[in-house]
A = this chain, B = another copy of it.
Amino acid sequence: MNVTYIIGAGMIRFGRYPDRLVEDYASEAAHAALIDSGLDPRSIDLAVAGHSSQGRVAGQRVLKELGLTGIPIINVENACAGGGTALHTAWMAVAGGFHKAALVIGMEKMEKGLIAGNPSEYEAILGKTLPAKYALRAKRHMREYGTTAAQLAAVSVKNHRAGALNEMAHYRKELTLEEVLASRPVADPLTLLQCCPTTDGAAAVVVVNEMLARRAQRKPVRIAASVLGSGAYRNTKNDGISSDDDITARAATRAYEMAALGPADIQVAEVHDAFTIGEILACENLALCPRGEGGRWAEQGITALGGRVPVNPSGGLLSRGHPLGATGVAQVAELTWQLQGRCGARQVEGARVALAHVVGGSMPGVGSGACAIHILTN
C-alpha cells in the first residue's frame, strides 16, 4: 500500500444556487482545487465524483466543463457519506498504485426531492423521518446521560460561531443559545436551528502518490487512514436507534488502527453534525470524548475553537451547510487547510492530526448504511 497525500483543495461558497447547474459550480470547485495543488492538470489520471441525485454521469459533465479530457471517472453514491466514499475510492486507486493523481469531487444540488426517500422507506412515510430519528437518539441521550436541551443547542451556537469565520459557509451568522432554543420545533427536542439547512455546494481535493507529493507547492497532507464503514442492517441493541453509534465506532476503531494513532492524538475534527445530537454522538463514538460527555464538552467549549479538541471549525453541516455528496469532501478540504495553517481566524493552532467523519444512508429500522472516516496528518 503506497502512502497517499492531499496536495490541493477547493470549494465554492456553500449556499443556494437555483439558477446554476451543478456541473457549473462543481467545476468551479474542482478548478480551485487544481489551482491550489499547483499540479499540471495533465497529471490527473482519475476522477471520482460523489453525489446522490444529480442524474447520470454527473462527474463527466463536470470534467467536460473543466476541459479535463482522457480521464476515467467513477461516480459514487453513498447518501450523506458519499463525499467520504469518493475520497476512499480515490485513495484505494492511488494507494494501490493504479493511479498517480486523482481529482475527488463532491457535489450536490438539493432540489430534487432528496429527502423524499425510496419506495421501500415505509418509516419515512409513517413519519419517522431523519429529524425524527435523530430526535429519538437525542431523547435517549438525555435520559441515559442527563444531557440537557441547552447542551444540545450549545453545539449549534458553537458551530455557527465558527461558521461565521468561514467565508465558504452558507450561514455566517452567530446565534445565541436563546435563539437556537426558541426556534421552531422540528422534532422534539430538536429545534430548527439544530438541523442543517438546505444547501447546494461542491468541494474538491487532489489526491496523489508520494512522488507527486514531493513536488507539491504546499506542504502535502498525508492520508494516514481511509476507512469506509459498513452498515449492520440490524439493531444491535434491538432499540431501533443505536445502529448509527455502532457503524461509526467500528469504522473509527479500524481508522485509528490503520493510522497507528489513537483518539487522544486528534487535534481537530470535522464530524457529521446534520443535527446537534449528531455531533455529540460522533464525538463519543469516535472516542474523542467519554461516552455521555458530548453535550457537556460542547457546553464547556472543549470542542470549540480555542478548546482542547476543536470540532467542526468550518461551521460543520449546521453552519457551512450539507449538500450531501459535497460534505465529506468539504470536511477534508477544511482539514487540509487547517493542517497547512491556512485558516486565518478559525485556525486551530499547531494542528498536526485531523479526523473527518461522515455517516448517512439511513435505512428503515437499522440505522445508517455508510460511514467514512479519514485521518490526516501533516
Contacts and interface: CB of A to CB of B under 8 A. Distances in A.
A73 to B, nearest CB: 7
A61 interface: yes
Contacts of A232: 69-70
B230 A361 contact: no
Given A75-B76, A96-B98, A118 B56 contact: yes
A229 interface: yes
A63 B60 CA distance: 28
A286 to B, nearest CB: 17
Contact of A78 (B74, B88, B234): B74
Given A60-B363, A361-B57, A119 B78 contact: no
B57 A120 contact: no
B64 A231 contact: yes
A55 interface: yes
A377 interface: no
A327 interface: no
Contacts of A228: 72-74
Contacts of A79: 56-57
A97 interface: yes
Please give the count of copies of this chain that the complex contains.
2
Interface in A47-105: 52-53, 55-58, 60-61, 63-64, 67-79, 85, 88-89, 92-93, 95-98
A60 B233 contact: yes
A371 to B, nearest CB: 9
A56 B70 contact: no
Contact of A21 (B73, B119, B227, B231): B119
A: contact size bracket: 35 or more
Nearest to A231: B60
Contacts of A74: 76, 78, 85, 88-89, 228
A12 interface: no
Contacts of A152: none
27 contacts: A21-B119, A52-B56, A55-B119, A56-B77, A57-B360, A57-B370, A60-B233, A60-B361, A60-B369, A63-B231, A64-B233, A67-B233, A69-B230, A69-B233, A70-B232, A71-B230, A72-B370, A73-B78, A73-B231, A73-B370, A74-B88, A75-B77, A75-B78, A92-B92, A92-B96, A92-B98, A96-B97
Interface of A: 1, 21, 23, 52-53, 55-58, 60-61, 63-64, 67-79, 85, 88-89, 92-93, 95-98, 114, 117-120, 227-234, 250, 360-361, 363, 366, 369-370
